[in-house]
A and B are shown apart, each in its own frame.
Chain A
Amino acid sequence: MSSKSDSSFLQFKNVKKSYDQKTLVVKDFNLDVKKGEFVTLLGPSGSGKTTVLMMLAGFESITSGDITIQGESIKRTAPYRRNIGMVFQSYALFPHLTVSENLGYPLSVRKLDKSDIKAKVGNYLKLIELEAFGDRYPGQLSGGQRQRVALARALIYEPRLVLMDEPLGALDKKLREQMQFEISHLHHRLGFTVIYVTHDQTEALTMSSRIAVFNNGVVQQCAPPDDLYERPSNAFVAGFIGENNFISGNVSAHKKKTVSVAVPGGRKIVAQNADVGSGEKNCIISIRPEKIFIQPTAHAYDNEITAKFVARYYVGDFIRYNFRLADRTEITVKVLNDLAAPEFSEDEDAKLVWLTKDCFAFRKERQ
C-alpha cells in the first residue's frame, strides 16, 4: 500500500526466487516492516519461508525484485556486511568455542577492545540468565540454554534486524512456551526489529505484532493476530488460522459489504464479503465453531440453519458437537461447558444460529 520508504524500515518489493530457473518457490513477495516490529512469516512447510530469510540474510540470491533496508537495496551488500542477526533452527553454536567465546565472536570480528567484549558478554550472559555457564561448551548445555545463547549471539552486536528461522522448533512444548515469553520480553525491552519464521500458528499469534500468512510463495494476508483470526481476507487464511467450518453456497444478492448466500437447508445466509467479486455465482462461507450457537439460545443471531446431529464429545472446558448439513457438509460447534449444553439423539434436527459479523464469504477455487 504505502510505498513511501521513510515509513517502512524493511521492504520486500516483488521478490521472486527460483532455484532451478523453472519453478518459482517465492512468487511475488511484498512486505513492509516498520522499525521495532515483530513480523512473523507463517505458512505450511515447504511454502518458501526459509528461502525468504536466506535471501534477506544474503545466503541465497534474489532471482528478481528487490529488498531494501532504510531505503537502500541490500542486493549488492555481502552477507557479512549486512549487519543482520540470525538465529538458526539448529542453533549453529560454534561447538569448539565456549559460551562466552560464542557470544564474543561477533564483537571480536568487529575488533572491539578485549575489555569491552568481556563487559558486553557479561551483560548478555546476565540477560539470558546463564552467568555461571560462560566457560561451558555448547555440547554441555540443555536445548533451552543453547537456544538462549543463540539468541544472545544474534543480539549482542545490536544488529539492525534479527531473523529467526523456527528457532523453537526443536524444543518441547513447555520450554517452547517459556522461550516464546522470553523472546517477546527481550523484544519489548530492547526494541529490535524481528522477522520470525514458524509453521506453528499459536506461536505466531502470541508473539507477533503482525503475521504474514504465506502459502505457495505468496503472502495471503499480512495483519495483526486478532485481525487475522477475526477478519481473514481469503479462504486459505480462514482455514489455516484456527479451526473453521466451511459451507459452500450460491450467491443470491451481492452488496458492497455483505452477500446473501443460499446454502443447503434452503435458508439464506447473510455473510460479510471478504473477497467475492460482483459477478461470481458460487462462494464459500466460513464460520468458527465457537461463534455458532444451538437453539434455544439467549444470544442474538442473524442467520439460522438446520442440521442433523452426528456426535457430541466431552472435551473438558468445552463440549464439541458434530452436525451434518443436507449435502453432508460437516459442521463443528464448540459450546462452553458452563452453558447449558443440550443432548440430542442421533439424526435429530438442530437449529444452528450465528451473527453476520462472525461469518465471511470467500471466493471459490482460490487455489
Chain B
Amino acid sequence: MSKFPHYFSIWDKASHYGLKWTAWAVLFFLMLPILVIIPLSFNVEPYFTFTDGMLRLDPDAYSLRWYKEIFSDDKWVLAIQNSFFIGIFAALLATVIGTVAAVGLSRPEMPFKRLITALLLSPMIVPLIIIAAGMFFFYTRFNLVGSYLGLIIAHATLGTPFVIITVTAALTGFDRSLYNAALSAGAAPLKAFWDIVVPLIRPGVISGGLFAFVTSFDEVVLVLFLAGPGQRTIPKQMFSGLREQINPTILAVATLLIVVSVAFLMTLEFLRRRAERIRSGQ
C-alpha cells in the first residue's frame, strides 16, 4: 500500500521526505515575515508583538483601530491618493509608449532593433539610485522636481520596459497574416491595427500596464529624490513613518498593500487564461 515504487530503498524514501520538508521550510521562511504582519495589524495595543490576548484568540485583543488611524490621518490619505494618482497616470503613459514601441520593434523591417530594445529596457538594469540622481539633475532644469508631472514621467520610464516585454510576448504569437487579411479586406492600417491587432494583444497590454502600476506603486527611491512634500506616496510615508511615529498603522497599510497585490496577481492570472482562450479561438 506504499505510495512509493517497489524499487525504492530506505534512502530513497528518506531523501524524498528530506526534499519535501526542505521545500516547505524555504516557503515558510519566505512567507512568514509577510504573513505575520496581517494578524499584527489588528493588534489593539500599539506594539509590534503578539500580546497574550492575541495568542488566546481573545476577540477584545483585536481591533480595526490602526485601519481607522490611516483614514483619519491627512498624511496617509494624501499618500494613498498620490500613490494611486501617480501610479495610474504613470501606468497609462507607460502602456501607450510601451505598446507602440513593442509593435514597432516587432516589425521585420525595423532597423537597429537590438540597440533600441536595449535602450528601452535599460531602466530595468541600471541601478535605481543612478537613474534617480540623473533625473534629479535633469529635472531641476525643467522645474520638474517636486511636481506630479515629474514623478509621473519618472515612473512611466520605469514601467515602460514591463509593457514592452509583455506586449512583445503577446505579439510573438501574433499571426501577421491576420493584419494583412484586414488590409486586403479594405481596412486602412490604423483601423486594421485597432480592430484586429489591439483586441488580440489586449491581455499583454493590460498585464504590462498592471506591472507598470505596481512598479510605480511601491517605488521609493525616485520619490525620495524627486517628490516634494505634496507628492509623498505610500512607500515614502511608510519610510518616514518608521522613523517618526512607530505604531502598527504601518502594518495596517502593509496589509492593505498585500491585499492589493494579491488582487493584481489574480487579475494577471485571469488575463493570462483569457489570452490563452483567445489564442485558441474559443
Identify the A interface with B (CB < 8 A). 57-59, 78-86, 88, 90, 92-96, 105-106, 109-110, 137-140, 153-154, 157
In the complex, which residue of chain A has the Cβ closest to the Cβ of B200?
A: A96
Q: Which A residues are CB-close (under 8 A) to B185?
A: 80, 105-106, 109, 153, 157
Q: Are B175 and A79 in contact (CB under 8 A)?
A: no
CA distance A81 to B183 in the complex (A): 8
Chain B CB within 10 Å, residue with most, of A59, A78, A110:
A59
Residue of B nearest to A105 (CB): B185
Number of inter-chain CB pairs below 8 Å: 75
- Expressed in whole angstroms, the Cα–Cα distance for A90 and B173 within the complex equals 14
Measured between alpha carbons, how far is A106 from B181 in the docked complex, in Å? 10
Instruction: Determine which of B178, B191, B200, B281 lies in contact with A109 in the assembled complex, contact meaning CB atoms within 8 Å.
Output: B191
Whether B282 and A79, one on each chain, are in contact in the complex, defined by CB atoms closer than 8 angstroms, is no
CB-defined contacts of B199 to chain A, threshold 8 Å: 96
Given contacts A92-B177, A92-B178, contact A80 B282 (CB under 8 A): no
Rounded to whole angstroms, the CA-CA distance of A88 and B185 in the bound complex is: 12
Q: Which 3 A-B pairs have the closest CB atoms?
A: A139-B281, A95-B281, A106-B185
* Residue in chain B with minimal CB distance to A89: B177
Query: Looking at chain B's contact residues, is the secondary structure mostly helix, strand, loop, or mixed?
Result: helix
Other A-B contacts than A88-B177, A93-B281, 9 sampled, CB-CB below 8 A, are: A57-B184, A83-B186, A86-B181, A86-B184, A88-B180, A95-B279, A96-B278, A138-B281, A139-B282
Contact mask B155-199 → A, CB, 8 Å, 1/0? 000000000000000000001011011111111110110011001
Instruction: Count residues of B near A (Cβ-Cβ below 8 Å).
Output: 24
Question: Which residues of chain A are near B189, meaning CB under 8 Å?
Answer: 80
Q: Check A95 against B183 for contact (C-beta < 8 Å).
A: no
Chain A residues near B178 (CB, 8 Å)? 92, 94-95
Give A140 to B281 CA distance when docked, in angstroms: 7
Let me know if B180 and A92 touch, CB within 8 A: yes
B280 beta carbon closer than 8 Å to chain A = yes
Chain B residue numbers with a CB within 8 Å of A96 are 199-200, 278, 281
* A58 contact set on B, CB distance < 8 A: 183
Nearest Cβ on chain A to B194's Cβ, whole angstroms: 12
Q: What residue in chain A is nearest B181 (Cβ atoms)?
A: A92
Residues A80 and B278 in contact in the complex (CB < 8 Å), given A57-B180, A86-B181: no
B186 touches A86 (CB 8 A): no
Looking at the assembled complex, report how far the CB atom of B274 sits from the nearest CB atom of chain A, in whole angstroms. Answer: 11
Q: How far is the CB of B167 from chain A (nearest CB, A)?
A: 17
Task: Give CA–CA (A154, B182) in the complex, Å.
Answer: 10
Cα separation A106 to B195 with both chains bound (whole Å) = 12
Task: State whether A90 touches B177 (Cβ < 8 A).
Answer: yes
A83–B184 alpha-carbon span in the complex (Å): 7
Given contacts A88-B180, A94-B196, A96-B199, contact A110 B279 (CB under 8 A): no
